[in-house]
Amino acid sequence: MPLIGALPQPITSAPLVFFVYLVLILLIGSALASVLLRNTLYAVGAFAASMVLLALLYLAIAPFLLVALQLLVFTTVSAVLLIGLLRGTTRLRTSSLGRLSPGWIIGGAVSSVMFALLALVLGATSWPVQVCCSIPEDFGQVLANSYIVGLAVLAVILGSAALGSGLMLAAPTLPSPRGGGSTTSRSPGGGGSTTSRSPGGGGERNVRR
């Protein structure tokens, strides 16, 4: 009995091959757009699109639990973190439209129709999950049995990351040695300099006379 069996065959089904090629091209394109765009908000949007496209690619070649985690957890958490950073720092603000404005209603209706259409297609055709072959179904059991230590370590890493980032955000900003958050003015005679904190606390300004 050979130690290593035959290699799994590549995907040859024409619709699935087309799907994989399309997703890969879009994935590389959105990744390039994410690192090339000057607008940070657009870059974050392209990054979120890349995460969704990777989840779609996993749909064809990976267990469904990984697809769900990639799509629902990793993409959502990353997008929420990035949007939260942008809202907390730059000019990204909440929409001025009311909750029941026509724009929100039309957008919600279109999104609902699209999701319903997608669910209908997936439910009626089982595409592309059933097209792929030899996908292990016991991924959850493998995780719970063989990788329980890894899951525990991962929980510690995620908890410490959340704790560390929370502490870092809660800590007061220290003035930088170059004058961040403070205004430094030099006396005309070239003597000593006086440092005073600006009322806003955030501006960085060095004034030389």
Partner 1 sequence: MSAGLNLLLVASAALFAVGVFGAVARRSAVVMLLGTQFMFMAGALAFVAFARFGLGAQHGSAGAAMALFAGAVAVAELAVGLAMAAVIYREHRSFALDADRG
Q: Which of residues 92-131 bind partner 1 (CB under 8 A)?
A: none
Q: Pick from 1, 2, 10, 95 the residue near partner 1 by CB under 8 A.
A: 10
53 vs 11, 26, 32, 41, 47, CA distance in Å? Answer: 18, 7, 14, 18, 10
Is residue 91 a contact residue for partner 1 (CB under 8 A)? no
Site for partner 1 in 33-72 (CB under 8 A): 34-35, 40, 43-44, 47, 50-51, 54, 57-58, 61-63, 65-66, 69-70
Kindly identify the residues of this chain, within the stretch 65-84, that bind partner 1 according to CB under 8 A: 65-66, 69-70, 73-74, 77-78, 81-82, 84
Q: Are 201 and 175 in contact (CB under 8 A)?
A: no
Residues in 154-173 at the binding interface with partner 1, rule: CB under 8 A: 154, 157-158, 160-162, 164-166, 168-169, 171, 173
Angle at 199 between CA 194 and CA 200, to 5 degrees: 120
- According to the binding rule CB under 8 A, does residue 8 interact with partner 1? yes
Peptide bond into 172 cis (omega under 30): no
Q: What is the dihedral of CA 146, 148, 150, 151, to 10 degrees?
A: 130
CA angle at residue 155 from 150 to 156, to 5 degrees? 100
The answer to whether residue 192 forms part of the interface with partner 1 (CB under 8 A) is no
Judged by CB under 8 A, which stretch of 10-18, 102-110, 114-122, 190-198 contacts partner 1?
A: 10-18
Closer CB to partner 1, residue 117 or residue 161?
A: 161
**Closest CB to partner 1 among 109 and 144?**
144
Burial degree of 185 (CB within 10 A; 0-12, 13-18, 19+): middle
